[in-house]
Chains A and B, each alone.
Chain A
Amino acid sequence: MIRLIINRLFFGLVTLFAVSLIVFLATQALPGDAASAILGRDATPERLTALREQLNLGDPVAVQYGKWLLAALTLDFGTSFASGYPVAEYLAPRLSNSLWLMAFAAIIGTPLALALGSFSAMRRDRGVDHATSMVTLVLASLPEFVVGIVLILIFSTGWLSLFPPIFAGGSGAVWQYPGQLVLPVLTLVIAVSPPIIRMMRASMIEVLESEYVQQARLKGLPEKTVIRRHAAPNAIGPVAQVIALQLAWLAGGVVAIEYLFRFPGIGLALMDAIDARDIPLIQAVVLLIAGVYIVVNLLADIVGLAANPKVRVSAK
């Protein structure tokens, strides 16, 4: 199994390398002069020269990329044009804010979705099941920012006014303001859950029809034991990949949500950076999001492997 994990890890690194190449080519090595494209109307000869120097634009493209990649490996993404801070320093607190947001959404959303899917499967073809199917289908077809806007309309405006429509924050870490976190987290949960619910329902139905569940019932086991010990662990296996995809999607999904709620994370930083044509910042954030995506998928693979006794035992 260790071998499999190392194998996956290797492919993860290859993917990350490919992403870095694309990011670099798309932002800095496009035909034309990147420096004047970045500075636009603000271009003065002195600023252009300074920028060309910082981006190594005088070198051949391969050398530019090499220098940039080596620096990126030491977490040196250069200096943000807009703020003047080093990118790493600027992003660190924002990354931790985003990770908190994603963690809350994942920790609340995944078990909830699994439970709802199982519940729906156990009441297959009854009212609850049909209702769940309808609602998840509708929610899955709505973009996350629409969900966020609807939630703001319901909970922040008019007579309810339960939660603030934007994240104002304060001096402490984000989790110290639970009231302000409710809406962003809820939006992410609603955006992430539907596919997990539907997949869990389908997988659970298949497992409940299986012969080993029938055999467990024929052994006279209480229904609770049948579900918890025999059905659920086997049903989650195929869903793990969908959970991974959804959680990895969170890394990109936070961009729109953070923008909507003015949440100070990497997503908002990315939007601001695009506004300001802050190339080093854009490069760093995109690489970060890709990194999160790869790590979450890797974790899901490992969990999936570890949950399969065939793989686990043969690796001994």
Chain B
Amino acid sequence: MSTSTTDDHRSDEAAALDIDGVTVIGRPSDVEIISGISLSVPRGRILGLVGESGSGKTTLGLALLAHCKRATEITAGSIRIGTTDLLAGTAAEVRALRGRGVAYIPQSPASALNPALRLRTQLREALFESDDAAARVREVLREVALPDDDAFLDRYPHQLSGGQQQRVAIAMAFIGRPDLIVLDEPTTGLDVTTQAHVLATIRSMTRTYGTAGVYISHDMAVVADLADEIAVMYQGEVVERGPGSRLLSAPEHPYTMQLLRAVPLLKTDGGDHPADEAKTPVLTVRGLEAGYGRTNVLKDIDIEVAPGDCVALLGESGSGKTTLSRSIVGLHHQFGGEVVFDGAQLAPSSYRRTAEQRRRVQYIFQNPYEALNPRKRVRDLILQPYAHLTGGKVADPDSVVATALERAALPAAYGERFPEQLSGGERQRVCIARAIATKPDLLICDEITSALDVSVQAEIVELLRNLQNDGMALLFVTHNIALVSNIAQYVAILNSGRIVEYGPVGTVLSDPQHEYTRALIADTPDFELTFADSPMHKSIRAAEKEHTAVEGGTKRPE
């Protein structure tokens, strides 16, 4: 299988990974999941592999360890780790190379660490030479900035935080000093501060060991920060590949441009200033305190949302932002304080609110894969709450469904589909359609883009902006600060149950007063620094500004 190209690579630079024409097909349909991919990564370098879900990037990542998910198969190509061809080897040879030649860092360490085994067992078994295994385990734990004492090694995965779990997964991958490391979206489930720590760890580890890395992600911003070279995958093929700086400043393939455009940029330069005129708020929260049993989660929460405004609730996991939004909508009723909606006090439990109040406050859930009943058609999903909240019979169900779908930018024909026939982005649109079908005045969006790709996220944000222009009030819960600067007029920054900073987005982000806000901004990947100044992006921004100016002129004559 050895061709002249692989020899060339070896002569100029020792390639840690060299793959040629790798094709993976699915059984029994024989569809090519990835087709004819050729890449090489030199030692000590990181290749960013970017693409949306379904582009085959995880399939490729697993193929690098000669592993195939169920019902898939590598049918062609060669994968060389150092000088060994992985696909030509026997099962035993492949096994010997895993962990030592090539290691894998999974997307969600919470499910990739065995819940029933202590960290000691899981770390040690990754090491084959047993001479000084204990010492090596401690060494690698220190390198990822985790405690190396016995008490820590005796812990189970559930006793660690998400960031610690991911660092254990990193330690587990580096423990055998591999030549190549495959990282499959290792920071997706983490908040920005933890993500910044984990990325720094990965960077320093690859430098220390001279390990080559393949970093898989759908988020251009993270990759731009970390990778030396970037390959863009689309529908199972690498459509563009080049040094990071070149790819960001002068992308060639239209899909690459689309991906770059989708990344929300953190605007710290003032941003949109909300209109000065005082509007009557539709929702006023005063002195809200909430908790679970005896544990207090939220304290002294004051928030106001006016019609046509978007208030972002920004905080990391565990800050209480979901508890707050659930309290407002009446799903969580162990709270005290005032929630006033349109002049009337709302009862804590949604059961005690009137149908009219419930109709006017709608909620969109974080995960569209779990928020839709898989046995109902889209049409019924939209009509059921509508019929219930507007009191009985629906005069013209077809037009209700069609209007709702249209406002969520979906074709009316989607009404006949089942959720499983929709993509993640389309599912979330259906959730939005279901919420806006009842014509609410306040929409609470709980991390509604966090389960979606960056490119889909941009479309959803655009959709929300249009709703907002129609006068709907939004409470947008998120952990993504860049997203806040793109959609909201006001931001409330939530840290361990308290609002530490509250004000217009432009003011808060350009001149943060609280140190927590400053830390959040500092930890967000500096995508703007590498990309925002590029000629391509400047032209996009200019076009966007023009566009919004025209739109604003026509839409708001008053």
Which residues does A use to contact B, with CB under 8 Å?
Answer: 209-212, 214-222, 225, 229-230, 233-234, 307, 309-310, 313
Count of B interface residues, CB-CB < 8 Å: 30
By a CB distance below 8 angstroms, the chain B residues around A211 are 106, 108, 111-112
By a CB distance below 8 angstroms, the chain B residues around A225 are 125
In B391-435, the 8 Å CB interface with A consists of none
**Which of B62, B97, B108, B169 is within 8 Å of A220, CB to CB?**
B97
Q: 1/0 contact trace for B123-163 toward A, CB 8 Å?
A: 00110100000000000000000000000000010110000
A219 close to B115 (CB less than 8 A): no
Distance between Cα atoms of A220 and B91 in the complex (Å): 10
By a CB distance below 8 angstroms, the chain B residues around A218 are 62, 65, 67, 98-99, 103-104
Known: A211-B106, A216-B114, A220-B98. A309 touches B158 (CB 8 A): yes
By a CB distance below 8 angstroms, the chain A residues around B70 are 209
CB distance from A217 to the nearest CB of B (A): 7
Known: A212-B111, A214-B112. A221 touches B159 (CB 8 A): no
Q: Which residue of A lies closest to B126 (CB)?
A: A219
Kindly list the 3 A-B residue pairs having the minimum CB-CB distance in the complex, ordered from nearest.
Answer: A220-B98, A220-B99, A218-B104
Distance between Cα atoms of A214 and B115 in the complex (Å): 14
By a CB distance below 8 angstroms, the chain A residues around B95 are 220-222
By a CB distance below 8 angstroms, the chain A residues around B218 are none
By a CB distance below 8 angstroms, the chain B residues around A307 are 116
Distance between Cα atoms of A219 and B173 in the complex (Å): 8
By a CB distance below 8 angstroms, the chain A residues around B112 are 211-212, 214-215
By a CB distance below 8 angstroms, the chain A residues around B65 are 218
Q: Which residue of A lies closest to B118 (CB)?
A: A309
Distance between Cα atoms of A212 and B168 in the complex (Å): 13
CB distance from B130 to the nearest CB of A (A): 14
Question: Chain A interface secondary structure, helix, strand, loop or mixed?
Answer: helix
B125 close to A219 (CB less than 8 A): yes
By a CB distance below 8 angstroms, the chain A residues around B45 are none
A215 close to B115 (CB less than 8 A): no
A217-B67, A220-B96 are known; give 11 further A-B pairs, CB within 8 A. Answer: A211-B108, A214-B67, A215-B169, A216-B114, A219-B125, A219-B172, A221-B125, A222-B95, A225-B125, A234-B115, A309-B156
By a CB distance below 8 angstroms, the chain B residues around A221 are 95, 125
Distance between Cα atoms of A309 and B117 in the complex (Å): 8
Interface assignment of B100: CB less than 8 Å from any CB of chain A: yes
CB distance from A72 to the nearest CB of B (A): 41
CB distance from A227 to the nearest CB of B (A): 13
By a CB distance below 8 angstroms, the chain B residues around A214 are 67, 106, 112
B115 close to A220 (CB less than 8 A): no
Interface assignment of B113: CB less than 8 Å from any CB of chain A: yes
In B19-72, the 8 Å CB interface with A consists of 62, 65, 67, 70
By a CB distance below 8 angstroms, the chain A residues around B99 are 218-220
Which residues does B use to contact A, with CB under 8 Å?
Answer: 62, 65, 67, 70, 95-100, 103-104, 106, 108, 111-117, 121, 125-126, 128, 156, 158-159, 169, 172
By a CB distance below 8 angstroms, the chain B residues around A309 are 115-116, 156, 158
Which of B97, B108, B156 counts the most chain A CB atoms within 10 A? B156
Distance between Cα atoms of A243 and B28 in the complex (Å): 36
By a CB distance below 8 angstroms, the chain A residues around B108 are 211
CB distance from B528 to the nearest CB of A (A): 34
By a CB distance below 8 angstroms, the chain A residues around B117 are 229-230
By a CB distance below 8 angstroms, the chain B residues around A212 are 111-115
CB distance from B96 to the nearest CB of A (A): 7
A229 close to B125 (CB less than 8 A): yes
Distance between Cα atoms of A217 and B69 in the complex (Å): 12
Q: Which residue of B lies closest to A210 (CB)?
A: B111
Distance between Cα atoms of A225 and B96 in the complex (Å): 14
A215 close to B104 (CB less than 8 A): yes
Known: A218-B67, A230-B117. A310 touches B158 (CB 8 A): yes
Distance between Cα atoms of A220 and B112 in the complex (Å): 15
Q: Which residue of B lies closest to A231 (CB)?
A: B114
By a CB distance below 8 angstroms, the chain A residues around B172 are 219
A219 close to B98 (CB less than 8 A): yes
Distance between Cα atoms of A313 and B67 in the complex (Å): 34
By a CB distance below 8 angstroms, the chain A residues around B126 are 219-220
By a CB distance below 8 angstroms, the chain A residues around B169 are 215
Q: Which residue of B lies closest to A124 (CB)?
A: B70
Q: Which residue of B lies closest to A218 (CB)?
A: B104
Q: Which residue of A lies closest to B96 (CB)?
A: A220
CB distance from B23 to the nearest CB of A (A): 21
Distance between Cα atoms of A214 and B104 in the complex (Å): 10
Could you jot down 20 A-B contacts, CB within 8 Å?
A211-B111, A212-B113, A212-B114, A215-B114, A216-B125, A217-B98, A218-B62, A218-B103, A219-B98, A219-B103, A219-B126, A220-B97, A220-B126, A230-B114, A233-B116, A307-B116, A309-B116, A309-B156, A309-B158, A313-B159
Distance between Cα atoms of A182 and B260 in the complex (Å): 73
By a CB distance below 8 angstroms, the chain A residues around B100 are 220
Distance between Cα atoms of A313 and B156 in the complex (Å): 9
CB distance from A308 to the nearest CB of B (A): 8
By a CB distance below 8 angstroms, the chain B residues around A313 are 156, 159
CB distance from B422 to the nearest CB of A (A): 24
Q: Which residue of B lies closest to A212 (CB)?
A: B114
Q: Which residue of A lies closest to B91 (CB)?
A: A223
Q: Which residue of A lies closest to B113 (CB)?
A: A212
Distance between Cα atoms of A220 and B108 in the complex (Å): 19
CB distance from A228 to the nearest CB of B (A): 12
By a CB distance below 8 angstroms, the chain A residues around B98 are 217-220
Distance between Cα atoms of A66 and B97 in the complex (Å): 73
CB distance from A201 to the nearest CB of B (A): 16
Distance between Cα atoms of A210 and B157 in the complex (Å): 15
Distance between Cα atoms of A169 and B103 in the complex (Å): 63
By a CB distance below 8 angstroms, the chain B residues around A230 are 114, 117
CB distance from B487 to the nearest CB of A (A): 33
Distance between Cα atoms of A221 and B126 in the complex (Å): 7
CB distance from A79 to the nearest CB of B (A): 53
Which of A210, A211, A221 counts the most chain B CB atoms within 10 A? A211
Distance between Cα atoms of A12 and B99 in the complex (Å): 49
By a CB distance below 8 angstroms, the chain A residues around B158 are 309-310
Which of A216, A218, A307 counts the most chain B CB atoms within 10 A? A218
By a CB distance below 8 angstroms, the chain A residues around B67 are 214, 217-218
Q: Which residue of B lies closest to A236 (CB)?
A: B116
